[in-house]
Amino acid sequence: MADPHAQLHLVDDDGTPLPLFVSALEAARLLGLSRTRIYELLDLGLLVGGREGKRRLVSLASVHEYAQLLIDQSSAAVEA
């Protein structure tokens, strides 16, 4: 049976599974944004996440998708 993490491309270079969720602070670090901006993006639905107790967790896949969205928008602006 195939590793479900591999299907989501959530493995690092040596095949070690990456976490499905990261903290808001880690998402902010990965994207180079503030934690407040991460909460705003979650509230706007631009990042996907959930709560575990008091913690807000962010889907690592949505962090990657948002980064790609920023790249695509930047590329479109350059081409215009």
pLDDT band at 1 (very low <50, low <70, confident <90, very high): very low
Gap between the Cα atoms of 59 and 20, Å rounded: 6
**Percentage of the chain with pLDDT > 70?**
86
Domains and CATH numbers, the chain: 4-79 (1.10.1660)
Gap between the Cα atoms of 6 and 15, Å rounded: 8
Gap between the Cα atoms of 44 and 50, Å rounded: 13
pLDDT band at 65 (very low <50, low <70, confident <90, very high): very high
Per-residue model confidence as pLDDT tens digits over 29-60: 999 999 999 999 999 999 999 999 999 999 99
Position 7, amino acid: Q
